[in-house]
Structures are given as structure tokens and as C-alpha cells.
């Protein structure tokens, strides 16, 4: 006679707990993001492109408006960019890589060019935008 009400009360106290746990679960499932991002530090460009050095210690990467890339005027495929820049640098320690972005080029190409320049061992990476690159 006395056993039954006690057991029923135990069962009832469990259901709200499960509800709350489910709610929390759904909340965390919806709000968490599993996207792993990386970061790439870049020095902001000088206001006018004429401040960029143009002597022999510079390798230029051109981002053309049609999406192609050129290293010192020679067309290069995206996957060979690092090797091409490395060949241009030639093992010297004081080289600057300048990235010129023609209007129409995309951010992905820009990021790839910065990474290629850094992986090739450039001392400085300069960036500038130009309306039209005239070889």
C-alpha cells in the first residue's frame, strides 16, 4: 500500500531532467561549429604602389584578371607557384616578393600567392593593386 506512491514519484522526477538534457543537447548541437580555421598574417600595403622596391632583389607575382598567375612575366600554374617563386629567389636571403593584383583577380589567388611567397623563403612580401598589368 505505501510502496506504490513512492515509486511513482521517483519516475515523475526523472522526466523533466531528460527534457532539460535533451534541450541542452539540441542547443549545443545547433550552436557549435566544428570548422577549423587558420590564420595568415599579412603586412598591410603602403598607400601608393610607387613605394614598392623595383630593383633586382624583387620577384613579382602577377595575379591576372582572368585568374591566371605569372611570376616575373612567365605564366605559371597555381600548383607550381611555390617552385617558380623559389626559382626566382634562387636561395638568396634578402629577396622581396611583390604581389600585384589586377582588377578581376580573386581573393583565393591572392592568398595562394602570399603563401607561395612565404613558403619560397621571401624576406618581405609586398602587395599592391593595379588596374591593368602591362608587361
Partner 1 sequence: MIELDQDPPRRQFETLIPLINVVFLLLIFFLLAGTMTPADNVAVKLPTGALNDSERDMPATLLVEADGFVWLGDRPIDPKIVEQALKEYLADKGMERVAVKADAEAPAEALLLLMEALRKVGVQQVTIVTERGR
Residues in contact with partner 1 by CB under 8 A are 7-8, 11, 14, 17-18, 21-22, 24-25, 28-29, 31-47, 63, 101, 103-112, 114-115, 118-119, 127-129
**How far is residue 16's CA from residue 109's CA, in Å, rounded to a whole number?**
54
- Minimum gap (Å) between residue 3 Cβ and partner 1: 8
The 96-102 sheet, strands edge to edge = 74-76, 69-71, 58-63, 96-102, 124-130
Q: Smaller CB distance to partner 1: residue 5 or 56?
A: 5
Task: For cell 532539460, name the residue.
Answer: 20
Please report how close the Cβ of residue 16 comes to partner 1 at its closest, in angstroms: 12
> Considering beta carbons, is residue 96 or 112 the nearer one to partner 1?
112
Taking each helix axis from N to C terminus, what angle separates 81-89 and 107-119, rounded to the nearest 10 degrees? Answer: 40
Sign of the CA dihedral running 6, 7, 11, 14: positive
SS3 19: helix
When the beta carbons of 23 and 56 are compared against partner 1, the nearer one is: 23
Residue closer to partner 1 (CB basis): 64 or 87: 64
- In the bound complex, what is the minimum distance in angstroms from residue 86's beta carbon to partner 1? 15
Distance in angstroms (rounded) separating the CA atoms of residues 58 and 76: 17
| Least Å from the CB of residue 113 to partner 1 | 9
Amino acid at each position: 500500500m505505501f510502496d506504490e506512491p513512492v515509486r511513482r514519484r521517483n519516475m515523475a522526477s526523472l522526466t523533466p531532467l531528460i527534457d532539460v538534457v535533451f534541450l541542452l543537447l539540441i542547443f549545443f548541437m545547433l550552436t557549435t561549429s566544428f570548422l577549423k580555421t587558420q590564420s595568415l598574417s599579412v603586412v598591410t600595403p603602403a598607400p601608393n604602389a610607387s613605394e614598392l622596391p623595383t630593383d633586382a632583389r624583387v620577384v613579382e607575382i602577377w595575379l591576372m584578371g582572368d585568374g591566371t598567375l605569372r611570376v616575373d612575366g612567365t605564366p605559371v600554374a597555381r600548383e607550381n607557384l611555390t617552385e617558380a617563386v623559389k626559382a626566382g629567389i634562387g636561395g638568396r636571403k634578402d629577396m622581396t616578393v611583390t604581389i600585384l593584383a589586377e582588377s578581376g583577380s580573386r581573393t583565393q589567388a591572392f592568398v595562394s600567392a602570399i603563401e607561395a611567397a612565404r613558403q619560397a623563403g621571401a624576406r618581405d612580401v609586398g602587395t599592391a593593386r593595379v588596374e591593368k598589368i602591362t608587361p
